[in-house]
Structure 1
Amino acid sequence: MVMEMLNSIIYPPQPSLILTIISAIEVLVLCNAGFMETKGTHMQYSKFWSSSTTANGSDDRRISSRVGMLIFYTPALFAGVLGLILFPGESLRFYLVAASLVVHFLKRDIEVLFVHKFSGSSSLDHSIIIATSYFVITAGTIYGQYLSRGLPEPSTDLTFAGVAIFLIGITGNFYHHYILSNLRKEGEKQYKIPRGGLFGLVICPHYAFELLGFVGICLISQTIYPFLFLLGMSGYLVGRSYATKKWYISKFEDFPKDVKALIPFVF
Structure 2
Amino acid sequence: MTDIFTAFFGSEAEELYLLECMSYFMIFMAGTTFIALLFENVPYGRYSSSKYGFPVNVKFAWFVQELPAFMLPVYLVLGTSATQLSQISNRFIVAMYFCHYVQRSLIFPFLIRGGKSTPFASFMLAIVFCVYNGYLQIRYLSQFAVYPANWVTHPCFITGCVLWLVGFLINIHSDHILRNLRKPGETDYKIPVGGMFEYVSGANFLGEIVEWSGFALAAHSIHSAAFAIFTLVVLSSRAVAHHKWYLAKFEDYPKSRKALIPFVY
| TM-score, normalised relative to structure 2 | 0.83
Segment of structure 1 superposing worse, 79-88 or 203-212 = 79-88
Q: Percent identity?
A: 23
Q: Aligned pair 1:140/2:136, yes or no? A: yes
Deviation of the 1:151 alpha carbon: 8.0
Question: Taking CA–CA contacts closer than 8 Å with sequence separation of 6 or more, which of the two structures ends up with the larger relative contact order?
Answer: 1
Aligned residues of 2:41 and 2:237 also touching (Cα < 8 A): no
**Secondary structure at the residue paired with 2:213?**
helix
Report the counterpart of residue 37 of structure 1 in structure 2: 37
Alpha-carbon distance in 2 for matches of 1:126, 1:79: 20
Alpha-carbon distance in 1 for matches of 2:72, 2:61: 18
Report the counterpart of residue 7 of structure 1 in structure 2: none
Segment of structure 1 superposing worse, 24-33 or 67-76 = 24-33
Aligned residues of 1:80 and 1:99 also touching (Cα < 8 A): no
**Secondary structure at the residue paired with 1:16?**
helix
Aligned length: 246
Deviation of the 1:224 alpha carbon: 2.1
Would the alpha carbon gap of residues 164 and 82 (structure 1) be closer, same or farther in structure 2, given more than 3 Å must change? farther
Aligned residues of 1:34 and 1:240 also touching (Cα < 8 A): no
Would the alpha carbon gap of residues 122 and 160 (structure 1) be closer, same or farther in structure 2, given more than 3 Å must change? same
Report the counterpart of residue 10 of structure 1 in structure 2: none
Deviation of the 1:160 alpha carbon: 3.6
CA-to-partner distance for each residue in 1:194-243, whole Å, 9 max, x for gaps?
A: 11111121001111111111122113312221012211211111111111
* Structure 1 unmatched ranges of 5 or more: 1-13
CA-to-partner distance for each residue in 1:43-86, whole Å, 9 max, x for gaps?
A: 33211224xx3xxxx37232101111112311101123223213
* Structure 2 unmatched ranges of 5 or more: 1-13
Report the counterpart of residue 113 of structure 1 in structure 2: 110
Residue from 201, 206, 219 that aligns with 1:208: 206
Alpha-carbon distance in 1 for matches of 2:114, 2:33: 23
Amino acid at match of 1:104: H
Alpha-carbon distance in 2 for matches of 1:189, 1:176: 19
CA-to-partner distance for each residue in 1:66-125, whole Å, 9 max, x for gaps?
A: 1111123111011232232131553112222222111101111202212x2123211223
Deviation of the 1:135 alpha carbon: 2.8
Alpha-carbon distance in 1 for matches of 2:31, 2:255: 26
**Bigger helix share:** 2
**Secondary structure at the residue paired with 1:149?**
coil
Would the alpha carbon gap of residues 160 and 153 (structure 1) be closer, same or farther in structure 2, given more than 3 Å must change? closer
Residue from 71, 78, 87 that aligns with 2:64: 71
Report the counterpart of residue 93 of structure 1 in structure 2: 89
